[in-house]
Structure formats: structure tokens, C-alpha cells
Chains A and B, each alone.
Chain A
Amino acid sequence: MIAVSTHKIEVSPKSEYGDAESSSLAVVLKSSGAPSVTKVRKSRLYEIRGSFTATHINRLSRDLLCDPITEDFRVLSQPPSTQGPFWKVEVRLKPTVLDPEADTIKNALIEMGFPPPDFIRIASVYKIESKCGKPQIESSAVRSLLNPIIHLYSITACS
């Protein structure tokens, strides 16, 4: 019997491939009130709760959650080592808002023969390198990365 636990998997683009989305986000953030943004790195964070072994998690991350050619995944067991300083903005849908992506992943896991998960939550994580203060990062993130009507977000300084 495998114990039920929550697994966190972070998927981010490999450095050798261009990351068009992140570079475009840097421009967008600059134009929405955070002029000193130098770099943005976007990744996806999956939180999956269920009875999964480490092998399960590795397999489902490689086969389902990431594109192994252009993306890397990391299973986060403890707080990740950071290469700061940067601002980390985490954005997820409010629980009352339909999350089709989580729904699709859940169905796919079952179809792939994994045990059905209890819940799946997906967050977008933006690591923003900038000299701006928190209020500036927050206001530009609200203007460009998320919509407070449907999203919850957190902003933390990482060093």
C-alpha cells in the first residue's frame, strides 16, 4: 500500500532552446510598470496528490507533464535551491474556477494506468530578475501575468 502524499513537479524549458514565451513576458512586464526587469523564466508547477511511488512520479512527469526534448522536470522534495536574487510569482486558478488542464491531466493519468489522483493543482511560476520592489512587481504582474478575478497569486523574494 502506497501512502497518499502530495508531489510537486516543476517543468521548465531547457536552457539550450530559446524560450520565446519568457522573453516576450519580459517585454510585457517592462511595459506594464516594472521597467528594470532583466530576465523572466517561466515554469509550470504541478501538485499531484495520490498514492504514487517515486517511479510513478518520474514516469508521469517524463511521459505526460513535460516535453522531454525541449523541457526538463524536477521533482521538488524540499524547497528548491535558488539561484537568486529574483522575485518568484506563483499564479494559480481560484478553486471555484474550472481548470480544464488539471481535468485533462487527471483523465490522462487514469488512461495511462496510474492510480487516480485525489487532486491536481497547476501553477505558473515566474522567476523575475529585477531591481524593482515588491509593489512594482505586484502591480505589473496583476496587469500582465494574471487576472485577480480568476487567479490567486503569491510573490516571494528569493535570494
Chain B
Amino acid sequence: MTEKIENSTFSVQVLSDFNSLGVKELKNLSAQNLWSLNEKEILAVQMYFRSLKRNPTRAEIETVAQSWSEHCRHKTFKSPIRYQEGSRTVLIKNLFEETIARATRQTKKPWCLSVFKDNAGIISFGNKGKWALAFKVETHNHPCAIEPKGGAETGLGGVIRDVLAAGLGAKPVLSTDIFCVAPPDKKLSLPSKALSPERILRGLIAGVRDYGNRMGIPTAAGGLYFDEGYALNPLVFVGSVGVLPATAVKKEIRPGDLIVVAGGLTGKDGLHGATFSSANLNGEDHSTAVQIGHPLNEKRVMEALLAARDQKLYRSVTDCGAGGLSSAVTEMADIVGARLHLEKEILKASDMEPWEIWVSESQERMVFAVPPSNLKAFEKIFADEGVKTRMIGEFVKTGRIEVLWNGQTLINLSLKFLNNGIPVEEKKAVYISPKIAESRVFPKKSLSEQLRDILSHLNVCSREWLIRQYDHEVQGGTVIKPLQGTRHDGPGDASVIWPQAATKDISDLFGFAVGHGLNPSSGKIDPYQMAWLCADEALRNILCVGADISRAAFLDNFCWGNPENPQVLGSLVKAAWGCRDASLGFQVPFISGKDSLYNESKDASGKMVSVPGTLLISAIAPVPNIEKAVTMDMKGPGNSLYIVGQTGEEMGGSLYNELNGIAGGVVPRVDVRCVRRNFAAVYQAMSKGLVASAHDLSEGGLLAAITEMAFSGEFGAMIDLDAVPKQKPIYSSEVLLFSETPSRILLEVKPEHEAAFVKCVKGSCVKRVGTSIANPIIKIIGLDGLVLFEESTAPFKAAWQRTVLP
């Protein structure tokens, strides 16, 4: 309901004995109030107030708790870590600085316009550098475990607001979603309060569908990954890409600018979301942390914001996310300072304490820095869209955050203390290589059964039932769609977006592609290699649709268990090193990222279970001419099929091993020098229009990839295994067919383009392995020259098209 409710009559609450409390009492107080401040931190707060010779107000402690929470501060990534692996000890001062940030600095890409500073990473876009792309992917795991639909809605709403608040505001043109959940077809024993995986999945899909579709933003890139490790803690990654003029990237705050809140009203919903994300899920009631999304409100805010941006009515903007006004205003005030009159905020609930108003995470709100002379014009634009605005204070050059409540001081804290006062604590990390007993089983199933099992596996099978619920066409710019092929039902590698709805220039054919890499199964064996594999997969996916990967940028999202556990932190450190090396190896910078830790809960027997360390790497790159974009479906008979990259005997973490009950094995490695050469050659060929179709080899390897290409195009293929380039001699056809060696792509080349193609890829590892045929069958010639496999594609398509949920 939108009517204004009279401001609450509560007065400022001072914690009158705070400075005299002992350690134990302080710890209890922190736990009772869901502050998630540890012993050292709450003592630092007490020290600060003792030095001021006054007791804090509750709102002040809440501000510190929000600002120092894992969610806002990324304490694990920014504190010193003593890492041990065998007899080797490494001291890390700041994991983020030494891995991801350093790699980005060293790659020195001038087209990175804003990295790690703003609400989203921003890169240059378009032919003459007229535009910029903002990209952000966030996690929203804890809220989704409690209320999946509301959690997914507000997760997506939040990341869209991040893009709206990137620079002076970008118009969102694409949403992405990746869910990691437990397989719904397995009987799992769950604690009484936990929701079933099926329920969670349905809720997540409904949330993204209802929010994204109503906002009018296409949801056209994503993924779904099943593993039992996500039964108690589902992982939800939501992302948004926006387009903004290059001139709107810079934002600033000047003393005297007014602080204006626009959007939804403030209520009690979602109190303590930020500090909640630093706590484990332990079966208690968390109803205060539940948020429900209101997409139509956000849509109005978006329209008004973009209009106000184009009229240059404000100097800076940020979204009210975790921590509400407290985080947003503190973040904006940065080193300047701010003075607010909190009673001016408009409420939708009457029983709110001032501190609750300050930290409420009511959705769909944005905070602006508006020069006083523009206030009237600014308010009018928002009022025309039906959005309520309220001026609640101004930025002042005091270096402090001062909040008044009906004339009384509610908060008076120095920004220096808030930003730098957090005590640093050295964390311990240990890495022990998992000992996985090698077992070699000789599968008894025929190749045909193996292929059917792979294609109908939950992690491979068609996502059409999900994709069709999302509007992936709205805005009319989805030139390469998630489902491809003759019947629009084949598995595309990535989507290509032509953001003409934002640039309003249909003669500009510049587009972009977004891809994701996620490989938790290899992370269980080797987290360092997992990072490489994720980076490789994300790049490979966007390369397959014709993106210029020399202009690609990465986003990282780490979801791990409790970092207080040295082994959990050890594998996190390994993965971060992997990210650094992959970024430097591929020469692709990271531009933004997020971490979500403490993803652990007690299972039915009371044992603490944490998620498998999960890294998501998202890649974005321009497609300079959308007319040259490529899809994965086979285009005709008589075309040559080429494979990019060598195949190795690396079956560790592969689907084939999983399905045949084989444990251990070598996790594939990325030979980056060779891969960069191959990928560059493939892009050259694609940009000249020499490639008819391209599909990456991922789960299920060569046989699954060629079958998917064939049934999507409704043609067939003949492949000669002897011609497949190998790292070392391989004598097993099954390895050649099912190995998941990364960096490999299948290409289809028409005869008339073959000579030019061969010239183009000279010097790289691209070899002809077969031809496409008119008959819809897959024919594999084995190493002995005999026909190893000859089957119609129809039953395999049927197996692949199974639905995940009834």
C-alpha cells in the first residue's frame, strides 16, 4: 500500500551501559541482535565509544554492523591469510588484491572503464567508444533457501538496481540466472524446516520469471546445475547487463548535494539481510530477513532514473541493497560526509524504530546525490512516473555520518572509523589434496546407452521448460537465442544481444555475448584447475557465437562454506589463485565480482554440511557485427567438420566417470598458450563469415556435442576418431568420445569456404575430423577403421528432451 504513514513516534534508543559491558556480555548482545560482529569487532566498537566518552545509540551499532558485515566488507577476501599446503606456508596480505585485482591491473586493458569500484564493472562498448556496458552478477543464496520465490525476485531486482546504479545509470538489456540445487529426483533426508529441492527450484524459476518478465528485460543467459551438496544451501546467481553512454560512467559527490531517496517506501521487510548473510542457516525462524519483490515499482524507478540521467539532474546514484540506507549513504558519503534527517523518510509501517528505518532493506529504493538547483526538475520526473521521492539530507564536508531523528542525534560516527576501524584478523587456510581412491571400472553399457545416459543427465538435458517461462525476446534484441536450430529447441552455447533498445540506433550492429563457466565437480578434486576450467568454458561459450574474446571481461562469484574452517579457506585460496592465473593466461581482466561464504547448514542428523566450493566465472565480450554471429545447429549436408584443440586422457570430474562410478582421475588442464592461438584463429574465421556452426565440447565430450549439433540442425554426421588430434596417443575410443578436455570446439565449414578457412586457421590446432550428412544419423569410425557407432539421432534427442520436473 502506498499511502504515507505518520512517522513512528519512537525515540532514539541509547545503549546506556554498553561501554561498561564485559566481553561475554558484548558477545551475547551481538548474537541477540543479529549483528554478526565477532569478539574482536565488538570490542573495537566499545573502544571507539569509550574514546568518545559516550555510549552508542542502537542505530550506531547497527550502522557499524552493516558496514563491517561479510556482505559489505568481504572480510575473508581482504584480511591476511596464513596458507599452508604440505610443508609450504604462504602469507597472503589481501587475497583479493593479490589475485583478482592484481591480474586485472596487469592485463592493462584501456577499455576497462570502471573495475571493482562501482556497483557493476563497466567496459567500453560500440564502434567509436560512444557506449559502455555494465555487468554484474550477484548471489542471493541465504534468502532463497528460506523463501525461494521472494529470494529470487529480490536477488534479480537487486542486481538490476546495481546496473541502474552503475555510473550514472545503465539501461538493463539482459538478465542472467544460474541455479545450483539438489537433484529433485533423489530421495534426500532433509531437516524438518528445509524446503525440498523441487520446491526450491520451482520457486527460484517463478521468482526470476515474474520479476524479469514484468520489468521487460530479457532473461536469456543462464544455467542449472544439480549436485546433492546443494540440498540445504541452494546457490542462486543472478546477473544483469546494462548499456550506458560513455559520458555517464563518471560519478561524483560534491558537498552541498542533496540526498534524495526514490522508489518504494520503507518498511520492516528484510531487516538484517546483510548481517544475516554472514550467519549460518541453523533452522531458526528468519521471517524478518524475507523480502518480496515489487517489479512494477522498480520498472517505474528505472524509467524515471534513465530520464533524469539523460537530463543530467544528479551527480551520483547508488542502490539501497543490503544494509539499506545505512550502507547506501555511507558508501556514497565515502570520504565526504553526510547529514540526514531520518524522520523525512516515508514509511509504510507505523511501528518502526528509527534504527529499523535506517537499516531496513525494503526493496526498489535508490539514493541520489542531487544538486539543489535540480531538485524540482528531478522530483517532477519521478512524480510523473508515480515514484515517490523524498529529500532526507545533504552531503557535507565533515568526514562524518550524522543522522538526526526529530532534532535528536541518532548517529554521529566518523567515516574513517566506519571504513578503516574494522580489526584485521589473520585467518588460517590449509589445503590438503583430497585423496580419492582411483578406481577403474570397465563399463558394460553400449556406447548408445552411454550417450543416452549422458544426454538425459540432469546437468545436460534440455532446459526448454525453464527457458520458455522466461521472456527472452522482450526489447527485440536477442539475435542469438538460448534455444537454437531448425525447431528452436537445440542447446545454444550463449546468447547474443543487440542492445538497440538502449542505443536507439538500428544501423549500429554492435552486440555482445554473455557466457558462464561453472564446474563444481572438478573443484572437488582440484579447486585451482576448476578456476581455469570455468574461465575456459565461459570464453569458449561466447567464442562459439562469434564474440571477440580479445575484448572479453570476466566476473567472479565465489560460493564457499565457512571460511573459519581452514580447509574450506584453503580451497578458496586455491581457486582465487586459479582465477589470477587464468586471467593473466587468457589476458582477460576481471571487472567485478562477489563472494558468498558461510553456505553451510545442519543436516537431518545435526551434522554441519557445507556446499561444494563453487566458482562461477561469467564472461562478456562484444560481437562487433551481429550479422556474423554463429549458432550451434548443423547447417547442411556435405560440410566439413573441424575440431579445435587436442583431446587428452583426462577423465577426472567427467560425466562419463560419474555415470560409470569411476572415482578420481586427472582433472583436465588448460594449455593456455595453445588455446589462445586456437581461439584467436577461430574468431578470425568467424568474423570473416567462414564458420557455418560452432558448438563447444563440454559435458559428455565429443559424442554428445556432435549429436546435439546434428539433432538441432536435423542432419547427421560422420566422424573419424583417428583424425581427432590427441595430446598423447590415446588407444581408447571411449576416451576420445567422452573425454572432457577443455578448450575444444566443433566447427562446421561449408565447402566454398574451406580453402579460406584452412588458410585462416593455419598454425593453430584445428583439424578436419568428418563431414555432415543429410541422413540424420551419427556415424563414428573407430581407431581401427571400422564403424564403431551408427545410430539415428532421434532417440537421443528424445532422451535429451526429458523434463527435469513434472
Contacts and interface: CB of A to CB of B under 8 A. Distances in A.
A90 B270 CA distance: 25
A24 B1 contact: no
Interface in B725-776: none
Nearest to A110: B2
Contacts of A144: 196, 199
Nearest to A118: B1
A147 B296 CA distance: 23
A133 interface: no
Nearest to A116: B3
A31 B198 contact: yes
A123 interface: no
B595 interface: no
B267 A103 contact: no
Q: Which of A27, A96, A104, A106 counts the most B-chain CB atoms under 10 A from its CB?
A: A96
A38 interface: no
B402 interface: no
A38 B330 CA distance: 56
A98 interface: yes
Contacts of A39: none
B146 A99 contact: no
A102 B287 CA distance: 20
B806 A98 contact: no
A64 interface: no
Nearest to A117: B1
Nearest to B267: A98
B267 to A, nearest CB: 7
A28 interface: yes
Interface string B259-278: 00000000111000000000
Nearest to B296: A104
B79 interface: no
B806 A150 contact: no
A97 interface: yes
A144 B287 CA distance: 18
A96 B287 CA distance: 10
B297 interface: yes
Contact of A103 (B2, B147, B198, B363): B2
A123 B23 CA distance: 48
Contact of A98 (B196, B285, B287, B292): B292
A102 B1 contact: yes
B286 interface: yes
B296 A149 contact: no
A58 interface: no
Given A98-B269, A106-B1, A150 B294 contact: no
Contacts of B527: none
Contacts of A130: none
Contacts of B183: none
Interface residues of B, number: 29
B150 A150 contact: yes
Interface string A97-122: 11110111011000000000001000
Q: Which interface class (under 10, 10 to 19, 20 to 34, 35 or more) fits A?
A: 20 to 34
A51 interface: no
Contact of B806 (A31, A97, A147): A31
Nearest to B293: A100
Given A100-B293, A103-B294, A149 B2 contact: no
Nearest to B291: A98
A143 interface: yes
Nearest to A32: B196
A103 B294 CA distance: 9
Nearest to B2: A103
A84 B146 CA distance: 34
Contacts of B1: 102-103, 106, 119
Contacts of A150: 147, 150, 287, 290, 292
A149 B146 contact: yes
Contacts of B349: 96
Interface string B285-314: 111001111111100000000000000000
Contact of A147 (B147, B291, B297, B362): B147
Interface string A128-159: 00000000000000011001011000000000
B806 A99 contact: no
Interface string A75-102: 0000000000000000001101111101
B806 A100 contact: no
Contacts of A94: 287
A99 B195 CA distance: 22
Nearest to A96: B268
B290 A107 contact: no
Contact of B292 (A31, A32, A99): A99
A98 B291 CA distance: 8
Interface string B365-397: 000000000000000000000100000000000
Contacts of A100: 292-297
B780 to A, nearest CB: 39
Q: Which of B287, B297, B349, B363 counts the most A-chain CB atoms under 10 A from its CB?
A: B287
Contacts of B362: 98
Given A147-B147, A150-B287, A97 B296 contact: no
A93 B362 CA distance: 17
Interface in B586-610: none
A69 to B, nearest CB: 20
Given A98-B363, A100-B297, 7 more contacts: A24-B806, A98-B267, A98-B291, A98-B362, A104-B296, A106-B1, A143-B199
11 contacts: A24-B806, A31-B198, A93-B292, A97-B269, A98-B267, A98-B291, A98-B294, A100-B292, A100-B294, A103-B2, A144-B196
Please give me the 7 A-B residue pairs with the lowest Cβ-Cβ distance, nearest first.
A100-B294, A98-B292, A27-B806, A149-B287, A98-B269, A147-B147, A150-B290
